[in-house]
């Protein structure tokens, strides 16, 4: 008995030492703390979707149905050619393959994936929206995206019998828009001067009536977006097996992918920000992605600068936090259904300029192979380039990068890249929700 106790102790010590050696691929011998991290990243740990107190219709199935139609409807644009789905293509994990997205014009940023987006408290790379519905209202009136205006959109719902019926079933009677003197076809607080002047001439009550329809369009689209969730990837199946059966002799992940996973949650520290089942903490960080404004043409004769737009550095959250605080559609405003207590994220948002400068929202890494090019402005064409950036951790052009050089070898970077490939999955959504609905 005593002997076996001693020999047990010896064994225990022996295996403790072993745990510091690199394990083989088939039996990766995850430590307890590594297992805790694997579980944290596993899709099975995704919490129930948090309620959205700013949107009474967030979980209403009729709203989601209407929202899906609107999401795919190109009529909601200045030229009849742009829908949300033009830049958020379901087959590309709801991105568009471009560095800078193109609608009616060209935007200054890259379209992020919106799978799992309803788990975030902030929207856009700079978090200038604090609800999914108010986010949707951004592109609709942006001169370079849909390029239209709220009066136009209200009228589309008013004229289309299918939209009208579903709208009124949800939100009550639409205002009577038949008088186009009172309710011009195009009027809104937008860049377009004609529409802006007409908007100013409307009475405040009429402006509010139109804005209310506009807000409800956003709330319906948000209800649809809440259904868009990523599915189970090869990585998730691996973790599930490990959690159930211990370190299995599995072929779910290759030796390189396993080594990459170990680096991801360990030495490379990716998991500190890309944390949780969606591989994002939905918070703002500075990783010093090069600002492309610094790369635009340099002229020897300064006179030429007069003929080009002065490139503006993208300060990210620094500007975004001011925008959301001043937004007519934020959590504390009249169009939000929330009470003040529901608005903690907004009320306690970090407004310190030094700390927010050059920070961007951490994007999800699920389906990363489908969402190139990478970063807020598509700075990196592929993952190889991106990982070189993380390895070197150069100084940021804007603010201060939080990264430290990783000093990994080329092979290790390749392994992280291999691991990232295991995060692909089909959306966990019925097929009918991934295309233009029939009606």
- In angstroms, rounded to a whole number, what is the distance separating the alpha carbons of residues 123 and 196? 26
Answer yes or no: are the C-beta atoms of 74 and 86 closer than 8 Å. yes
- List phi, psi (to 5°) of 415: -70, -40
Task: Please say whether the dihedral angle defined by the alpha carbons of residues 50, 97, 258 and 236, taken in this order, is positive or negative.
Answer: positive
- List phi, psi (to 5°) of 257: -65, -40
**Closer residue to ligand HEC (CB): 34 or 248:** 34
Position of tokens 């937004």?
A: 327
Residue among 173, 203, 297, 348 that touches another protein (CB under 8 A) = 348
Distance of CA 388 to the CA centre of its chain: 23
Q: Check residue 343 and report its DSSP letter.
A: G
Minimum distance from residue 145 beta carbon to ligand HEC (Å):
4
Partner from another protein, ligand HEC, none contacting 151, C-beta within 5 to 8 A by type: none
**Closer residue to another protein (CB): 29 or 290:** 29
**Closer residue to another protein (CB): 140 or 365:** 365
By CB under 8 A, what part of segment 16-35 binds another protein? 16, 18-19, 29, 31-33, 35
**Closer residue to another protein (CB): 29 or 97:** 29
- The answer to whether 272 contacts another protein (rule: CB under 8 A) is yes
- The answer to whether 410 contacts another protein (rule: CB under 8 A) is no
Q: What is the dihedral of CA 330, 126, 137, 143, to 10 degrees?
A: 130
End-to-end alpha-carbon separation of the chain, Å? Answer: 77
Partner from ligand HEC, another protein, none contacting 86, C-beta within 5 to 8 A by type: ligand HEC
Minimum distance from residue 284 beta carbon to another protein (Å):
7
Residue 65, C-beta contacts closer than 8 angstroms, at least 6 positions apart: 166, 224, 437
Cβ neighbours of 2 (radius 10 Å): 6
**Residues in the site for ligand HEC, rule: CB under 6 A?**
71, 82, 84, 86-88, 101-103, 107, 109-112, 114, 117, 123-126, 135-136, 139-140, 145-146, 221, 268-270, 272-274, 285, 287, 289, 360-363, 365, 368, 371, 374-376, 386, 390, 402, 416
- The answer to whether 243 contacts another protein (rule: CB under 8 A) is no
């Amino acid at each position: 008995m005593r002997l076996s106790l001693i020999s047990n102790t010896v064994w225990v010590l022996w295996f403790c030492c072993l745990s510091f050696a690199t394990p083989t691929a088939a039996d990766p011998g995850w430590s307890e703390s590594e297992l805790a991290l694997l579980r944290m990243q596993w899709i099975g740990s995704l919490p129930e979707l948090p309620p959205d107190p700013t949107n009474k219709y967030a979980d209403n199935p009729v709203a989601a149905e209407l929202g899906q139609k609107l999401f795919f409807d190109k009529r909601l644009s200045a030229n009849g050619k742009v829908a949300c789905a033009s830049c958020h293509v379901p087959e590309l994990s709801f991105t568009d393959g471009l560095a800078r997205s193109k609608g009616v014009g060209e935007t200054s940023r890259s379209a992020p994936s919106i799978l799992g987006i309803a788990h975030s408290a902030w929207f856009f790379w700079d978090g200038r929206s604090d609800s999914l519905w108010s986010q949707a209202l951004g592109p609709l009136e942006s001169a370079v995206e849909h390029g239209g205006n709220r009066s136009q959109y209200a009228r589309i719902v008013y004229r289309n019998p299918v939209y009208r019926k579903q709208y009124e079933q949800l939100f009550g009677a639409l205002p009577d828009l038949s008088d186009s003197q009172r309710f011009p076809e195009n009027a809104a607080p937008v860049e377009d001067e004609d529409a802006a002047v007409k908007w100013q001439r409307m009475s405040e009550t009429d402006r509010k009536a139109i804005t209310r329809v506009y807000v409800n369009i956003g709330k319906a689209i948000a209800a649809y977006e809440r259904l868009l969730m990523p599915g189970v990837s090869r990585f998730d199946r691996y973790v599930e097996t490990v959690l159930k059966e211990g370190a299995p002799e599995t072929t779910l992940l290759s030796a390189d992918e396993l080594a990459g996973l170990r680096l991801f949650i360990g030495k490379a520290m990716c998991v500190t920000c890309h944390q949780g089942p969606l591989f994002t903490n939905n918070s703002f960080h500075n990783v010093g992605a090069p600002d492309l404004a610094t790369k635009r043409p340099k002229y020897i004769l300064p006179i030429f600068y007069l003929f080009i737009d002065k490139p503006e550095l993208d300060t990210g959250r620094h500007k975004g936090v001011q925008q959301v605080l001043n937004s007519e559609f934020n959590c504390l405003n009249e169009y939000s259904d929330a009470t003040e207590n529901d608005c903690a994220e907004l009320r306690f948002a970090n407004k310190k300029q030094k700390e927010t400068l050059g920070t961007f929202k951490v994007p999800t890494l699920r389906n990363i192979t489908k969402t190139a090019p990478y970063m807020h402005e598509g700075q990196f064409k592929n993952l190889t380039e991106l990982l070189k950036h993380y390895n070197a951790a150069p100084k940021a052009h804007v603010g201060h990068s939080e990264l430290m050089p990783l000093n990994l070898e080329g092979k290790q970077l390749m392994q992280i890249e291999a691991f990232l490939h295991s995060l692909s999955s089909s959306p966990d959504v019925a097929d009918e929700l991934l295309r233009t609905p029939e009606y």
